[in-house]
Chains A and B, each alone.
Chain A
Amino acid sequence: MAFRIRKKRLSRSTGGDIVIFFFLALGAAFMALPMVYTISQAFKPLNELWLFPPQFWVRNPTLANFNDLFVLMGKSWVPITRYLFNSLFIVIFGMLGNVITGSLAAYALSKHKFPGRDIINEIIVLSLMFTPAVTSIPNYLTISWLGWVNTYWAVVIPQWQWTLGLYLMRNFITAMVHDSLLEAARIDGASELRIYAQIVMPMVKPAWLTLIILVFQNLWRETGSMFIYAEQLKTLPYALSQIASGGIARAGVSAAITLIMMMVPIIVFVFNQSKIVETMGTSGMGGE
C-alpha cells in the first residue's frame, strides 16, 4: 500500500485519467493550429502561397524561402548580425533588470514590515489597471529629457519597472516562502541580501523562469521604432519586417521570417519549462 501511495496519489481513478487525457489532446490540437500553420507556410513554394482558395497544408515542401531569405540578409546594408546583436542586447538587459529590480522589491514588499508598504502594494495593483496607451507621451518626453533617445536604454530601462513582473514575483514569494525559514536565517546572522539571493530566489525559481518567458516575448518583437532612429541600432524584427515588405514576391521570405521569429521564443519557452519541472523534482516540493 505504501508503495502505491508513492507511485500515485490516492485520489485518482484511471477512467477519469483517460477522459481527461482525450479532452486535453483535443484542446491542444486546436490550440496548436497557428503554430502548425506557420510551419506549413514557411515551406510552401511561392505558387502555393498565392493559391486561391488558400490551402492549410503544404503540398510540395521546399527550402527556397529560407534560401532567398539568407541571400537577402547577406545584401543588407547594415550586417544582419548587427540587428541580431541589438535585439539580444535589449532582450537580455531588459530581462535581467526586470527580474532583479522586480524580485528585490517583491521580497521586501512581501516579507518585510515597514511604513508605507501597504500603500505601495495597493498602488502597484492599481497601476496594473491603468492602460499604458495614454502614458506614452509623458514617457517619450522623459526619455528624451534624459537623453536616451537613440540608445538601447530607451527600451531597456522602462522594462525594469514592469509592474506585472513585480506583482508576479510578490505573489509567488508570499505563497512559497515561509516566514519561519527567513527567521531562522536571520537568527543565524544572514544579511537580508544573502537571504534574498540564497534562500528566496532559489525557492521561487518557477516564478522568475516564468517571468523570463513573459519579458522575452515582450522584448523579442520590440522594434523600438518610437525611440531608436539610427539604422545600426535597430532591432532584428525591424530589419526582417523591412525585408518582408519588399513586395508581393517576398511572400515566401516573409513566411520564413515568421517561422524564425516564432522559433526563438519557443526554444526559450521549452528550455524554461523544463527547468521549472527540474527544480520542483529535485527540491522535493513538486507534484511528482
Chain B
Amino acid sequence: MSSVVSPRRQMVGPMPQVKKESLWTRMKKSWVSYAFVAPFMILFLVFTVVPVLLSIILSFTYFNMLEWPKWMGWSNYIRLFLGDKVFLIAVKNTLLFAVITGPVSYLMCFLFAWLINELQPKVRAFLTLLFYAPSISGNVYVIWQMLFSGDTYGYINAQLLNLGIIDRPIQWLVDPTWMMPIVIVVSLWMSLGTTFLVFIAGLQGISASLYEAGAIDGIKNRWQELWYLTIPAMRNYLMFGAIMSITSSFAAAGQIQALTGPTPTDWATWTVMQHLLDYGNTRYEMGYASAISVFLFVVMVGSQKLVQRALSRVGN
C-alpha cells in the first residue's frame, strides 16, 4: 500500500491533467466522483430534470389533462403577452413586489443574522428561535388578519379611530390603495426563513483567528470588520441567499392569497405565480400554465445573473 503515488490523487486532485487524455479516459478515472454524485443525480433526473423538460415542451401545446396534448407552437406565449390583460397586471405587480421584497428581505436576513451572531451563545440561540418563529408557527396570517381587519374592531382601525386620525374604518385588505403595501410588509416580516438560518450557520463557521488577525492588522470598528473580513468570508452563503430571495419574491403566492383572498379587488395583488396556479390547478390548462412557468423561470435566471455579477464585486 505504501508504494508510489496513490491513484486516487490523479482521479480527483487538482493536479494538472495531461492534455492528450481523451474524455473517456478522464471519465473512467473519475469513477469515484460519479459514484458520489450518482444517487442524487439519478433521482434528480427522474423527479426534476425530466418533468421540467416535459413542462417546457407542454408550454407549446394545449393540454387539459384529459386529451393528448395538441401542438400549438408559440400561441400560448403570444396569448400571454397580447391576449391576457390580467397576466400583464400580474407581471407588473410581481415586478413591483419582487423589486422591493427581494433586496429588503435579503438585507434583513443578513443584518439580523450578523447582529445576533455578536451575542452570547444562549441568547443567540433564543433570539434565532424568535426571529425564525413566523416560519415555524404555521398560522402566521391570523395575527395580520386581526390587525388589519376591515371593521371597527380591527386592531389598527380601532386605534386610528380612537386617536381621531380617521373617522370610519379602512378596508385594509379590500382597498387597492392598501393591499399591496400590506402584502409587502407581511412578506418581509415572514422572510427570515431559510436564508436567515444559513447566514447564522455561515457566520458561526468563520474562524475567530480571522478576526484576531484583522484586529492586529488595524481593523478599527465593526463596520470595517464587516466589509473587509465578514462579507468576503460569507461570499458562498451570500449567493445562496440571493437565489432564495429571488425565488421567493418572484414566486410569491401563498401568503398573498391568504391575506387578500383568491380574487383581489382590481387584481391589485394578483401575481404571476397566482396566475400560474389558477390556470394549472383550477382551470387545468396545463400548456398555458407551463408557458407561465417558463416565463417565470427566464425572469428569475435573468435576475440571478445580474445579482451574481453584483456580488462578485462586493467586499473586494
Q: Are chains A and B native binding partners rather than an unrelated pairing?
A: yes
Beyond A9-B211, A206-B201, whether A131 also contacts B125 by CB under 8 A is no
A34 is contacted by which of B46, B140, B225 (Cβ under 8 Å)? B140
Give the interface centre of B30, B158, B197 by most chain A CB atoms within 10 Å.
Answer: B197
Q: B98 on the interface (CB 8 Å rule)?
A: no
Beyond A115-B23, A131-B273, whether A274 also contacts B125 by CB under 8 A is yes
B297 is contacted by which of A100, A129, A258, A281 (Cβ under 8 Å)? A129
Neighbouring B residues of A111 by C-beta, 8 Å: 12
| Beta-carbon contact of A287 and B139 below 8 Å | no
Within 8 A of A (CB), among B116-145: 116-121, 124-125, 127-140, 142-143
Q: A276 on the interface (CB 8 Å rule)?
A: yes
Neighbouring A residues of B75 by C-beta, 8 Å: none
How far is A216 from B139 in the complex, measured between Cα atoms in Å? 17
Neighbouring A residues of B225 by C-beta, 8 Å: 9, 11
Q: A3 on the interface (CB 8 Å rule)?
A: no
| Beta-carbon contact of B277 and A133 below 8 Å | yes
The range of chain B's interface size is 35 or more
| Beta-carbon contact of B43 and A38 below 8 Å | no
How far is A193 from B159 in the complex, measured between Cα atoms in Å? 63
Beyond A126-B301, A142-B46, A266-B129, whether A217 also contacts B201 by CB under 8 A is no
Beyond A109-B37, A130-B293, whether A34 also contacts B276 by CB under 8 A is no
B208 is contacted by which of A105, A107, A286 (Cβ under 8 Å)? A286
Neighbouring A residues of B205 by C-beta, 8 Å: 172, 175-176, 206, 280, 285-286
Chain A residues engaging chain B, CB cutoff 8 angstroms: 5, 9-13, 16-17, 20-21, 23-24, 27-35, 37-38, 52-54, 56, 100-102, 104-105, 107-109, 111-117, 120, 123-131, 133-135, 137-139, 142, 157-158, 160-161, 163-164, 166-168, 171-172, 174-176, 179, 183, 186-187, 189, 191-192, 196, 206-207, 209-210, 213-214, 217, 221, 258, 261-262, 265-266, 269-270, 273-274, 276-277, 280-281, 284-288
